[in-house]
Structures are given as C-alpha cells and as structure tokens.
Structure 1
C-alpha cells in the first residue's frame, strides 16, 4: 500500500453535501460507507461511494471496496485532481437481489487547469456479502 500524505487529503465534514450527487449530506450518504458503519445496498451505491472516496482521497476505502482478484497493491489519489461531478448513465442488474451488476458513469475532473472526464462501464460483484468493484468493461 502506498503512503498517503494526510495533509494533502481533502477534508469533508458530515454536514457537507455528498460528492456522489445525491441530495444527502456526506455523513448520511457515502460517509457511512467510508467509515464502515453501512454497506452499499446496490452496485450503483458502491459506484457512488467509490467516486466520493476519490473526492475525499480515502485510499483505504477504495482498496476495501475492490475485489481481491483485481485489487492493486495501492491507490494513490492525486491531490491535484479536483473531481467536479458524477453522472450515472445506466445500470444493469446490481440490485439487492443480484450478485453481479454494471454501472456506466461519467466523472468530470479538473487537473492542471484543464477539465476532462472519465467514462467507464464498471463491473461489480458480491464478495463475502458485500458489493465490490471488479473491473472496467472494454468499450
């Protein structure tokens, strides 16, 4: 696991809007998943919480929510990347009644004064009773 410089980690109070785009406060939305007091009910919930983890630079959560077969040794969110918003484009299965699911999303960001976007069709599986990120489908 890489060493993360805590002074570069963006802070997010429980009362701030959740970065995932839902009309909830961070503490009652993705913050609960990040701290481990709740689990994602759907693949989309996990996708949103992982986006929020990138926003708040929560490397530990990103690794915990990654399938062990595809999990890297470490994730080092770049503190110079400003995440600007998440748009869910579609989902396939991934409900509380499924064991697999997909989420297509677009995440906007700013880096070095330039804006860009990450467009991905992600696969999720249940592993040991919890949704985890598996990988990205080829486009």
Structure 2
C-alpha cells in the first residue's frame, strides 16, 4: 500500500493566510491615514510660517508706519480680490493677507502683531487638528527687531 501524500492547501491554512493579509492591509490603511494627517499638519505649519515672515518683511519694509500693523486680525475668505497697482495701502494689504490666511489656515485662524520696544512679534494661531473638535489651537510666533 502506498502512503498518501498531501496535495494543495487545507481550508484552515487558506483562512489563516487571508486573516494575516487582512490585518496587514488594515495596518497599511491606518498608516496612510496617519500620513495624510501629518502632511496636512506640516502644510499648515509651513503656511503659518510663510504668512508670519511675509508680514514681518512688510513691517521691516515700512519702518516708519510699523506701528500701524499692531493689533489682532481674524482670517476671512469673503471679499478676497488681490490688490492691484504699484502702491498698495496698508489696509488693502492687510485685507489681502487676512484672505490668504483664511484660505490656507481656515476661517478660524487668527493673528496678533505686538511690540515690546523695538521687538515686533507676529503670532498666527489656527486649529491644526481637524479630527478633534476640542483640541487646542496651534500657534506659530516669529519676531524681528527694528
């Protein structure tokens, strides 16, 4: 009598292989979701950094009128049209800046320009965590001396 040799896979082996593959794919999907989340956070930080330094450059370029930039600003996305012409008034520039802040960081974004002696500071605050409604806002701060 010849011994029987097994050929093929048993059903339990196939089910275990599918289960292992399923867990692997689930882990990969979670990894991708976290990646999207962190990329969005990095994008917000980059936008806040660029907006802060742009406003500080504007303040440095207009040293005589630097005090006019002091105050609190809220982001907006209404009445957003880019300024035209060679000479742009401070109010027109700040309206455009607030619009760009609203479009890149969201309507809830805020900015504050303060001064301590010759040190001007721009703080930009925005809601970084879209998945948690009660999460604390993120703030980026940049300073310059005039």
> Smaller-chain TM-score range?
under 0.3
Higher strand share: 1
Higher helix share: 2
TM-score after normalising by structure 2: 0.24
